Amino acid sequence: MTAKYGTIVPSHTASKKIARVILSAVVFVTIALAQNPVLSQVYRREDNRSLQTAQSQTLPSQTVVSEVESVGMTVSDMDKAVDFYSQVLSFKKVSDVEVLGTEYEQLQGLFGVRLRVVRMQLGNELIELTEYLTPKGKPIPVDSRSNDHWFQHIAIVVSDMDKAYQHLRSFKVQHASTAPQRLPDWNKAAAGIRAFYFKDPDGHNLEIIYFPPGKGDSKWQKPTNQLFLGIDHTAIVVSKTATSLKFYRNLLGLRVAGESMNYGIEQEHLNNVQGARLHISGLRSPLAAPVRVAFRRKGASRPLRVSVGSPGPIGEGLSVRSAQSPAGPGIEFLEYLTPRDGRPLPGDAHANDLLHWQTTLVVKDAEAVAQRLRINKSVFVSPSVVAIPGQTLGFKKGFLVRDPDGHVMRVVEK
C-alpha cells in the first residue's frame, strides 16, 4: 500500500491480490448456487421480490385489492351443502337469494343461468355457495389429487385439533389426509402447526388448522368456547410462484406476508402426495400490511417506534396483540417442487362445474382493474364488467377473471 496526499492507495501488487480475492469469492458463490438449488431459488426469489415490490408500489390505490371478502364454490345441492357447513362446521347462514337474467349470464360466462346463492359466516369470514339450478355442470374428477392445478381449499381454524378431528369423524367426513399432522420443529415458519384435509359432500377440499401460541394471527389465540373459529386463508396450487406473483402482486396489489419450504413425511401425509415438497407463499390485502406503532414510556425523552408484521413481543417488555387490519382471509400459494405431475385445469371447465371456486376481491374501481388485466392479457370469464341490479349479490359491479393457473377471482366494486 502507498500513501498519496494523505489517502491510502493500493499498490499494483496489492491491487492484484484484492482482485484475486474478489474473483475467488464470486466463483465460490456461483458454484454454491449451482450446487444448491434451494439456495439458488432463495436468491432468485429475493431478486424477483424486490423488483415486483417496486412495481406493485406504483399501482393507484383505487386499483389494489382492499379486501378478500369471501371464498365461493359451486355445489350440487344447496340444502345438503348448507346442512353440512352449518351442522358439521358451525357456519351461520346470512343470506339466501335466487337470481336469473342477462347480467348473471355475463358475470358467470354461461347462458341460461338460474342461480341460488347462499352466504354463510364463521367468525368474521364468509363463504358463498352457488347452486346452478340451470344449467347443471360436471362433478369434480374422482381421481383429483392435491397437486392438481385446480386444487383449492379453505383453512378453517380450530381451537383444539383432537376434538375437531373427532367431531368430523362423528359425521363420517371423507378423509383427504391420512390423519391430522403436526408440522416438525425444524420448519421454523410452521413448527407446531397441526392440520388435516378432508372433503365436503361434493368433494371440495377443506382443511382444519390449529395454530400453537406464537403462530398465525393473534385473534386465533383468544380464549373461546368455540371449536371452529373462522377462515385463515384459501390455498391454491400454482405451477410457478413467480408467475402467480405477477398476477396477484403486480396487477392486483396483494402483498407477500410469509414464505416457507414444506416437506417430509408429515407434509406428504397431510397432502396425501408421496414425495411432496412445497414452496408456500402467503399473500394478504395491503390493508392487512404491517403497521407502525409508537409507544412512549413515562419519563422517556422520545417514543419507541417499531414496525411489526405479526403479533408478539417487540422488546423492552412491550408486545403487540394484533398487527393486522381485518381485511379478510389470506391467499396461499402451494407450488409443488416435487412431484411435478399435477394436471392443469381442464380446458372445458366452467363456473357451473363443481371444481369451480371463486374468491371475491374488493376494489374501488373495477373498470380500471379490468383494463389493467386486459392489457396484461389475463383470461376473463366475464366478457366485461357487469353491473348487478339492486346489488343482489352484495356489490354494484364486478367481473370474473382467471389467474395463470385458471383459478377464478371475482373482482367487485361495492
Q: Is the pLDDT of residue 363 over 90?
A: yes
Average pLDDT over residues 217-226: 95
**Rg, the chain, Cα only:** 24
CA 220 to chain centre: 17
User: Rounded mean pLDDT of the chain?
Assistant: 84
Q: Is the pLDDT of residue 324 over 90?
A: no
Query: Which distant-in-sequence residues (6+ apart) come within 8 Å of 345 by Cβ?
Result: 149, 150, 405, 406
Beta pairing partners, 357: 73
Average pLDDT over residues 395-414: 98
Are 158 and 228 in contact by the 8 Å Cβ rule? The answer is yes
CA 131 to chain centre: 25
Instruction: Give the count of beta carbons closer than 10 Å to the beta carbon of residue 279.
Output: 21
Average pLDDT over residues 288-294: 48
| pLDDT for res 127 | 98
Dig out the grid coordinates for 185 from the structure: 420443529
**Angstrom distance (rounded) from CA 329 to CA 69:** 8
Length, in residues, of the chain: 414
Look at residue 141 and tell me if it is in a domain: yes
Are 218 and 335 in contact by the 8 Å Cβ rule? The answer is no
Look at residue 27 and tell me if it is in a domain: no
Look at residue 395 and tell me if it is in a domain: yes
Phi and psi at residue 402, to the nearest 5°: -100, 145
Q: Which amino acid is at 203?
A: G
* Tens-digit pLDDT profile for residues 206-221: 999 999 999 999 999 9
| pLDDT for res 52 | 44
Look at residue 3 and tell me if it is in a domain: no
**Angstrom distance (rounded) from CA 32 to CA 38:** 10
Which of residues 307 and 178 earns the better pLDDT score?
178
Average pLDDT over residues 274-294: 79
Say what percent of the chain tops pLDDT 70: 77
Residue 223 CB burial class (10 angstroms; 0-12, 13-18, ≥19): exposed
- The domain in which residue 366 lies consists of 61-290+325-413
* Tens-digit pLDDT profile for residues 52-89: 444 445 788 888 999 999 999 999 999 999 999 999 99
Domain total in the chain: 1
| pLDDT for res 63 | 85
Q: Which of 237-251, 314-328, 336-350 has the lowest mean pLDDT?
A: 314-328
Q: Are strands 194-199 and 92-100 parallel, antiparallel or unpaired?
A: unpaired
**Angstrom distance (rounded) from CA 342 to CA 278:** 12
| pLDDT for res 327 | 86
Query: Which distant-in-sequence residues (6+ apart) come within 8 Å of 80 by Cβ?
Result: 201
* Tens-digit pLDDT profile for residues 170-190: 999 999 999 999 999 999 989
Say what percent of the chain tops pLDDT 90: 74
**Angstrom distance (rounded) from CA 16 to CA 19:** 5
Look at residue 146 and tell me if it is in a domain: yes
Q: Is the pLDDT of residue 386 over 70?
A: yes
| pLDDT for res 20 | 55
Query: What CATH number should be reported for the domain holding residue 165?
Result: 3.10.180.10
Q: Is the pLDDT of residue 325 over 70?
A: no
Look at residue 20 and tell me if it is in a domain: no
Look at residue 371 and tell me if it is in a domain: yes
* Tens-digit pLDDT profile for residues 93-149: 999 999 999 999 999 999 999 999 999 999 999 999 999 999 999 999 999 999 999
Confidence of residue 399 (pLDDT cuts 50, 70, 90): very high
Are 341 and 146 in contact by the 8 Å Cβ rule? The answer is no
| pLDDT for res 98 | 98
Q: Which of 147-161, 183-197, 264-278, 303-317 has the lowest mean pLDDT?
A: 303-317
| pLDDT for res 59 | 83
Q: Is the pLDDT of residue 18 over 70?
A: no
Query: Which distant-in-sequence residues (6+ apart) come within 8 Å of 68 by Cβ?
Result: 234, 284, 285, 327, 328, 329, 330, 331, 359, 360, 361, 362
Q: Is the pLDDT of residue 346 over 60?
A: yes
Look at residue 358 and tell me if it is in a domain: yes
- The predicted model scores a pTM of 0.80
Dig out the grid coordinates for 325 from the structure: 387490519
Average pLDDT over residues 315-336: 66
Q: Which of 150-154, 202-206, 279-283, 311-315 has the lowest mean pLDDT?
A: 311-315
